[in-house]
Structure 1
Amino acid sequence: MYIGFDFGTANCSVAKMAGDTPSLIPLENADFYIPSTLAAPTRDSVSEHLFRHRHIQPADAVGERLLRRSIALNREEDIDIEFDDVLFGQAALDLYLRDPQEVYYVKSPKSFLGAMGLHEMQLSFFEDLVCAMMANIKTQVEKASQQSVEDVVIGRPINFQGRGGEDSNRQAQNILHSAAKRVGFRHIEFQFEPVAAGLEYEATLDQDKTVLVVDIGGGTTDCSLIKMGPSWRNNARREGSLIAHSGQRVGGNDLDIHLTFKQLMTPFGYKSQTLKGLEMPTTQFWNPIAINDVSAQRDFYARENLVDLKRLHKDAQQPEKLARLLAVHQDTLGYHLVKSGEELKIALSDERHAEAKMKVMAEMLSVNVSRDEMIDAIEAPKSKMINLVLEAVKLGGVKPDAIFMTGGSARSPILRSAVEQALPGIPVVSGNYFGSVTAGLARWAKICFA
């Protein structure tokens, strides 16, 4: 059996072909989309879980060292890893929200895969995270379909990272490939996510067109200018139809982070002052919510930073606000805050005003935000997305006949309006915002493996 596998930043999904039609496979209860999240008792639980309960061997000598260290640390802490101790998807998120200080939680490991300058143990650990999530999904797919799965097409962005170029892309794709091999996929292909989405849109066309596919996902914005239609459908050699690509690590997560930073960090001391009248350092409010930045997260949650936070609390004009920031550090609440920002963004897509609620310690914080304030807060990432749209058209040198928008964040009327203003007079269409990439990957898998 072959599948298309969208290992997404926000969600993962899988599809198989039922005749000529892609069919999504349920991955968590009856849901077709599983959040890209993992929760475990400790960071060191993941590698041992893979080895002890999923019977997945380390990839190399570095992985073996990581496993030995993880087992030793778990024994020191008297932690005996059971199969159900490592959770995925909504179950992982629910556990984190119930008890954030007692769980190791990670969201969107795909965001980290292209980060440069990581040492070999970090890379090995990221591979184990991906491997654990893939193993869970493969198990669910085989359970639902009652078939073993060996052949897979995995989606990938045009660029995994803003920096690092092709070295970054190779590193990230190698991690995905190695993890897929370890969980039991034998034949593995990759396809650009916007190209896959284009294949799904192409299936609806009765004449050839030049289409700009704009895929705004949780972690990246990717654009592909593609010739498509009946002349190209089911063609294994698509090189001549691919006119231009652009892509960068800026997506829905960045909208959530910027909105959280600009509108929700004031109760934690953002823009407040010390007793000497100096403004609090901005990085202390950005780093905890920069959940897609490895170095920012490391810096904020480091033990050394706790000393700095306590000093700022002592020197603050409004110490009660810095006490909340200390709680963010101690209870690992960064993901919790960004989740509030995401919910606020969704509410403000339909309403002129909305209220964000955040529980910190025993306190429930409420912040009222207007849609205009949200639009101002997300201006920087929104501008990057629109520049990528324009870049693809400029590189291709061809005006598209249509713009096909897909990806979860493409549902935003603010982003859709921005695309329409950037490329006026070109019809903007959409399909299944969440499923177009997955369906297109399944179509490509049929071409590759059937």
Structure 2
Amino acid sequence: MGNACGVDFGTSNSTMGWVRPGQQTMLVLEEGKPTLPSVVFFNADDDEVSYGRAALADYLAGYEGRLMRSLKSLLGTSLMDGQTEVAGRSLSFRMLLAQFIGELKRRGEQAAGRSFDSVVLGRPVHFIDDDAVADKAGEDTLAEIARSVGFRHIAFQYEPIAAAFDYESQIDREELVLIADIGGGTSDFSLVRLSPGRAMKPERRDDILATAGVHIGGTDFDKYLSLAAVMPLLGYGTQLLSGVEVPSSYYFNLATWHTINLAYTRKMTAQLAELVRDAKEQDKMQRLQALIEDRAGHWLAMQVEEAKIGLSSEDSVVLDLDRLSPPAALDVPRQLFGRAISHLVDDVGNTVTGMLADAGVRQEQIDTIFFTGGSSGVGLLRERIGAVVPSARKVEGDLFGSIGAGLALDAVRKFA
């Protein structure tokens, strides 16, 4: 048990847990917090690498360099075997993930005052939807990376199951629970029988009635909010003099966290210069051109992400886009956000409905919905899931810590 931990490598945030009698499970990773944002910044000015909040701060401070975020989204895709240019040299995406996970391990061990050689890694129900080969490749790649940074014994657990184990430690009776884990990259669900007595069992397979997942998460909500609200200011949906619509690839790259850097390639820059000359609305295209020349794509994505968070509780927010040229202040109503993500919300709701049907469980049999994951705070999504099982009690867990805590509990079972 002493050398076994749980690691939740997340699309947006990562955590590390270690079970110790009478002490907090979650290890402190940065600035007194148990979360480390899954961000790496290569500072070209100082030739240094920073992680987490420090990486975001360095980027926003204006240092020259390369920001990488949402690296987990690469697992299982063909991009995983590719490379990117960092500070004038090629660096493989595998190496980038290994750098971050190695730093996560180092910080966790420093906080614990000991090394860890055994780990239960969280994984989504599907790294890639409807592709078993790619899904297995995602898990295998993550295992190889974990082994390369010093973990000798590696096991996996579905993230919603891990969240279920954390919730189980807080209840005093048996419940049939729908776990809704809405993270940065995926929405994962499990239907599990939980109780204090069942928690003592070394094998829980019989308690898991069903699992399901879909590759939709917080970064997708960011993407479609950006396309609906912000990208039209930069020419999205406008036309060239020929009557052809401006190619959407620039906007989709800028609106998607892990492809933002693709907008900065020399080829894209040259193509964009030609499009500006041929655009009907040159002012908007010049605004896009200036944004890309300033490499401010991640800054823009951060503003959209903040707007998304604000719209989870407010009827409208104001986006202060002061780095655009010219600057803009954009009023974004919640209704616009709802329309932008409605197709995603429907897909998530249908995933839950399908899981219950596959398990042969009626909605009235479910006692509790346990929400976890940073994106479970999106009101429209929570309402849609709640409508599938309207009689169930709604419980909110630690949005960022439940999975890591559950993985640490599972590490005790697997490696004790």
Normalising to structure 2: TM-score of the pair? 0.91
- Residue 25 of structure 1 corresponds to which residue in structure 2? 27
**Distance in 1 between residues matched to 2:327 and 2:53, nearest whole Å:** 23
* Match for residue 370 of structure 2 among 392, 395, 404: 404
Tell me the amino acid that sits aligned with residue 184 of structure 2: G
- Residue 309 of structure 1 corresponds to which residue in structure 2? 272
Mapping for residues 318-397 of structure 1, pairs under 5 Å: 318-360=281-323, 363-397=326-360
Aligned alpha-carbon RMSD (Å)? 2.3
- Residue 390 of structure 2 corresponds to which residue in structure 1? 424
The alignment partner of 2:19 has SS state of: strand
Q: Is the 8 A contact 2:222 2:255 kept in 1?
A: no
Mapping for residues 73-92 of structure 1, pairs under 5 Å: 85-92=48-55
Structure 2 residue 129 is matched with structure 1 residue 162: yes
Q: Is the 8 A contact 2:43 2:50 kept in 1?
A: no
Structure 2 residue 157 is matched with structure 1 residue 191: yes
% identical aligned pairs? 32
The alignment partner of 2:163 has SS state of: helix
- Residue 412 of structure 2 corresponds to which residue in structure 1? 446
**Distance in 1 between residues matched to 2:13 and 2:80, nearest whole Å:** 25
Mapping for residues 247-258 of structure 1, pairs under 5 Å: 247-258=213-224
**Distance in 2 between residues matched to 1:268 and 1:120, nearest whole Å:** 29
Structure 1 residue 217, shift from structure 2 partner: 0.4
- Residue 259 of structure 1 corresponds to which residue in structure 2? 225
**CA displacement, residues 55-104 of structure 1 (integer Å, 9 cap, x when unaligned):** xxxxxxxxxxxxxxxxxxxxxxxx9x95xx0110011111222327x211
How many residues are treated as equivalent by the alignment? 406
Structure 2 residue 111 is matched with structure 1 residue 149: no
**Distance in 2 between residues matched to 1:355 and 1:401, nearest whole Å:** 39
* Match for residue 78 of structure 2 among 116, 121, 125: 116
In structure 2, relative to structure 1, the CA distance for the partners of 1:429 and 1:87 (3 Å cut) is: same
Structure 2 residue 210 is matched with structure 1 residue 244: yes
**Distance in 2 between residues matched to 1:18 and 1:118, nearest whole Å:** 36
**Distance in 2 between residues matched to 1:390 and 1:253, nearest whole Å:** 23
Tell me the amino acid that sits aligned with residue 340 of structure 1: Q
**CA displacement, residues 242-264 of structure 1 (integer Å, 9 cap, x when unaligned):** 11111121101110111011001
Q: Is the 8 A contact 1:24 1:439 kept in 2?
A: yes
Which segments of 5 or more consecutive residues in structure 2 lack a partner in the other structure?
85-89
Which segments of 5 or more consecutive residues in structure 1 lack a partner in the other structure?
43-78
**Distance in 2 between residues matched to 1:233 and 1:412, nearest whole Å:** 30
**Distance in 1 between residues matched to 2:251 and 2:214, nearest whole Å:** 24
Question: In terms of mean alpha carbon deviation, does 387-396 or 209-218 score higher?
Answer: 387-396
**Distance in 2 between residues matched to 1:284 and 1:181, nearest whole Å:** 37
* Match for residue 195 of structure 2 among 218, 221, 229: 229
- Residue 437 of structure 1 corresponds to which residue in structure 2? 403
Structure 2 residue 68 is matched with structure 1 residue 106: yes
- Residue 87 of structure 2 corresponds to which residue in structure 1? none
Tell me the amino acid that sits aligned with residue 9 of structure 2: F
Q: Is the 8 A contact 2:5 2:118 kept in 1?
A: yes
Structure 2 residue 181 is matched with structure 1 residue 179: no
**Distance in 2 between residues matched to 1:337 and 1:385, nearest whole Å:** 26
**CA displacement, residues 394-413 of structure 1 (integer Å, 9 cap, x when unaligned):** 22111322211111111222
Tell me the amino acid that sits aligned with residue 431 of structure 1: G
In structure 2, relative to structure 1, the CA distance for the partners of 1:398 and 1:378 (3 Å cut) is: same
Tell me the amino acid that sits aligned with residue 355 of structure 1: V
In structure 2, relative to structure 1, the CA distance for the partners of 1:401 and 1:26 (3 Å cut) is: same
Tell me the amino acid that sits aligned with residue 95 of structure 2: D
Structure 2 residue 98 is matched with structure 1 residue 135: no
Structure 1 residue 429, shift from structure 2 partner: 1.6
In structure 2, relative to structure 1, the CA distance for the partners of 1:358 and 1:345 (3 Å cut) is: same
Structure 1 residue 375, shift from structure 2 partner: 0.9
Structure 1 residue 190, shift from structure 2 partner: 0.9
**Distance in 2 between residues matched to 1:110 and 1:168, nearest whole Å:** 14
In structure 2, relative to structure 1, the CA distance for the partners of 1:408 and 1:118 (3 Å cut) is: closer
- Residue 290 of structure 1 corresponds to which residue in structure 2? 256
**Distance in 2 between residues matched to 1:362 and 1:254, nearest whole Å:** 26
**Distance in 1 between residues matched to 2:410 and 2:145, nearest whole Å:** 21
In structure 2, relative to structure 1, the CA distance for the partners of 1:395 and 1:301 (3 Å cut) is: farther
- Residue 17 of structure 2 corresponds to which residue in structure 1? 15
**Distance in 1 between residues matched to 2:91 and 2:172, nearest whole Å:** 47
Q: Is the 8 A contact 1:324 1:360 kept in 2?
A: no
**Distance in 2 between residues matched to 1:362 and 1:124, nearest whole Å:** 32
Structure 1 residue 276, shift from structure 2 partner: 4.1
**Distance in 1 between residues matched to 2:396 and 2:360, nearest whole Å:** 23
Structure 1 residue 121, shift from structure 2 partner: 5.8
- Residue 203 of structure 1 corresponds to which residue in structure 2? 169
- Residue 60 of structure 1 corresponds to which residue in structure 2? none
Q: 4+ residue stretches of structure 1 with deviation over 6 A?
A: none
**Distance in 2 between residues matched to 1:179 and 1:251, nearest whole Å:** 24
Structure 1 residue 277, shift from structure 2 partner: 4.2
Structure 1 residue 20, shift from structure 2 partner: 7.2
Structure 1 residue 133, shift from structure 2 partner: 0.9
Structure 1 residue 363, shift from structure 2 partner: 4.0
Normalising to structure 1: TM-score of the pair? 0.84
